[in-house]
Structure 1
Amino acid sequence: MEKYLDIILNSYSGYWRYLKNELIDIYHWDNYFYGLIGLSLLVWGLEILFPWRKNQPVFRKDFWLDTFYMFFNFFLLNLIVLIALSNTAAEIFNDILGFSGLHVSNFELFDIDVLPRWLGLFIFFLISDFVQWNTHRLLHRVPMLWNFHKVHHSVKEMGFAAHLRYHWMEPVVYNSLLYIPIAIIGGFDAQDVAIVHFFAIAIGHLNHANLGWDYGKLKYIFNNPKMHIWHHAKELPEHTKYGVNYGITLSTWDYIFRTDHIPSDGRDIELGFDEDENFPKDFLRQSIYPLKTKG
């Protein structure tokens, strides 16, 4: 137990030092803090220049709530929960294997270090996106998880910052499941994770933005605003009651597994879920809601 406590404390102190460096070192290529600000301003600018819903205000409904979620989930959440939990979970997993005389390396299928860097990065991207696509499906199909995911689907007007409106429990689920394939395919480093993660953030911002783009033929590869808005539709056919268009970065998985659904131009469809009028409207009550609601 003392070992796990040390991991938690070291995780907090390490991440706190990292966050302080992010605020100071503004010219570093992988500075997430200023990178997120720059990316958000860029996509917001595209919304202002090329609005799909022309009557939607620049400061749309819940704009400031979503902006708070964006910074809380991207930075403070890591400091409070995610880093310590992920590091501790990884150590517990290794200890369990150790009791049986095994180690993570025993499960490695191959090491991407032996591949060209571009190919290893591409494989990591495909694996992580597919795992996240399946995790997203679970969030819709498992009642307890759906109660957490409702926070994200409480968005009533889409905009770039809606991308990072989600309950703090979601990344715990995503990262816990993502650890398994990362553990069995060795060779990933922090830079690989950083590149793939920020690319996913960029696509996610665009998916939620007030933009009427589908990228032409590339819509069968990349998730896009015209596809993703149907994921947030309040009313869907009965056969799609668990949701549609689960893609995170890639739309390919939805087309392969037939969970794609774009019946028409979704520009003005109503967003949300059944009885969302009763869902809490502020951050604190939205955070508490899944914890006191039965699945």
Structure 2
Amino acid sequence: MTPPLDRPRRSFFAYSAALLGTLSLFAVLCFHFPELLTSKEFRTVYSEVFARHLLLVGLVAAFCMGTVAILRDRNRRVALLGVGSATMAVLLGGTNVQFDAIGRTPYSLGLDWFVISLFFSALVFVPLERYLGQRAVSPLRPGWRTDVTYFFLSHVLVQFILILVTASTSTVATLAAFPSLKALIQSMPVWAQFLIAVFVADLAQALLHRAYHNTPWLWRFHAVHHSSREMDWLAGSRIHMVEIVLTRSAVMLPLLVLGFSASAVNAYVILVGLQAVLAHANLGIRFGWLEYVLVLPRYHHWHHARHRDYIDVNYAIHLPLVDMLMGTFKLPPEPAWPEEYGVMKLETVPRGILRQHVMPFLSRKTWDDHVA
């Protein structure tokens, strides 16, 4: 029997060039069409000067890394994609694109949010997982393209998701009035409101999260998130769009009803973004007692374990205390980590973002081309 051929080793420089070249091209498009491609909310976070400097860094790095990969004859097509994208970005104006005052539009895409978020997430977590990872997993593991696509859609469509979430919660929030409780919460300092908001939101999300696992029609949406066979900082992006809207609505509703200040809610939103990436990250750091205070990688990895003893545990996203109150807390002593990740029945979730989004609406139970 002939042994299988080893898969050729992928070039870090080639794929980095492709990523940076593509992001640079997207950034130039954002400069050309800021009203349509950039998020009004996110534009307040960074300056034009910062964006131009970041674009310059991306262009230079894409050209340098792509050239090195081409000269070394490593993944030349991928490297050429990076160099070609960077060249197109330069031909379209590069860092010199000028624009007038940004007008108001009824909607816009968050392409700037995607570019900046993916750049810095990769910059931080790829090296961390390389040197501090619990498992030796390549950033270009099977399924990474699917997860990048999920990352892209959830960031680019952020305004539309917010519109749906706001529409689904604002009416209910106005009907539910608790003036004395609202007054009590609003009299507290922002830091106290933030801590209470984290607990309230985590409890609401954990209850819905458990419903995802125990209600068959909801599970078909949530199974997409659990279909990742490897856990890393990008795996948490694999979430069905219906689940995103349902979860964000369930979390925002109690915060709106109880009248938490905008500052406390914004701080909570920042925490969600950071902890969602951290909890899925492939980091083998020992946190000791802190694992019983905050949801950290090992805690959430056991929730994703392909192990029958962990099907119905660890639903909290921020505070293990929530699982303790729900009776769903389960964490083996250090240094135990899951051996395998994914849904128990791998054949029930197809590969690819399009089929995964259609899957919950079909009566079909199994797929030939599935996540295994």
TM range (shorter): 0.7 to 0.9
Q: Please give the residue correspondences for 1:21-170 in structure 2 after superposition, counting only pairs within 5 Å.
A: 21=43, 25=47, 33=114, 34-35=116-117, 37-54=119-136, 56-76=137-157, 78-80=158-160, 82-93=161-172, 97=175, 104-106=176-178, 109-111=181-183, 112-170=185-243
2:322 to 253, 266, 280: 253
Instruction: Give structure 1 stretches of 5+ with no counterpart.
Output: 1-12, 98-103
| CA distance in structure 2 between the aligned counterparts of 1:22 and 1:68, rounded to whole angstroms | 25
CA contact (8 A) 1:108 1:183 kept: no
Please tell me whether residue 282 in structure 1 is matched to residue 352 in structure 2.
yes
1:224–1:58 Cα change, 3 Å = same
**Matched residue of 2:195: which SS?**
helix
1:15–1:244 Cα change, 3 Å = farther
Task: Please list every run of at least 4 consecutive aligned residues from structure 1 whose deviation after the TM superposition is greater than 6 angstroms.
Answer: 13-16
Instruction: Look up the equivalent residue of 1:93 and give its one-letter code.
Output: V
| CA distance in structure 2 between the aligned counterparts of 1:283 and 1:123, rounded to whole angstroms | 36
**Matched residue of 2:344: which SS?**
coil
Instruction: Give structure 2 stretches of 5+ with no counterpart.
Output: 1-34, 52-111, 366-372
Please tell me whether residue 271 in structure 1 is matched to residue 341 in structure 2.
yes
**Matched residue of 1:253: which SS?**
helix
Matched-pair identity in %: 28
1:126–1:269 Cα change, 3 Å = same
1:219–1:277 Cα change, 3 Å = same
| CA distance in structure 2 between the aligned counterparts of 1:22 and 1:287, rounded to whole angstroms | 32
Deviation at 1:117, TM superposition (A): 1.7
Kindly provide the CA deviation profile for residues 40-92 of structure 1, in whole angstroms up to 9, marking residues without a partner as x: 431222101212113x223222122212212212331x344x22222322454
1:93–1:207 Cα change, 3 Å = closer
**Matched residue of 1:211: which SS?**
coil
Deviation at 1:262, TM superposition (A): 2.8
| CA distance in structure 2 between the aligned counterparts of 1:32 and 1:115, rounded to whole angstroms | 32
Residue in 2 aligned with 1:18? 40
Instruction: Look up the equivalent residue of 1:61 and give its one-letter code.
Output: P
Residue in 1 aligned with 2:268? 196
Return the TM-score normalized by structure 2: 0.64
| CA distance in structure 1 between the aligned counterparts of 2:168 and 2:212, rounded to whole angstroms | 20
Aligned length: 267
Return the TM-score normalized by structure 1: 0.78
Residue in 2 aligned with 1:223? 295
1:25–1:145 Cα change, 3 Å = farther
Larger radius of gyration: 2
CA contact (8 A) 1:234 1:271 kept: yes
1:142–1:225 Cα change, 3 Å = same
Residue in 1 aligned with 2:280? 208
1:268–1:106 Cα change, 3 Å = closer
Instruction: Look up the equivalent residue of 1:218 and give its one-letter code.
Output: L
Larger mean Cα displacement after TM superposition, 16-25 or 262-271: 16-25
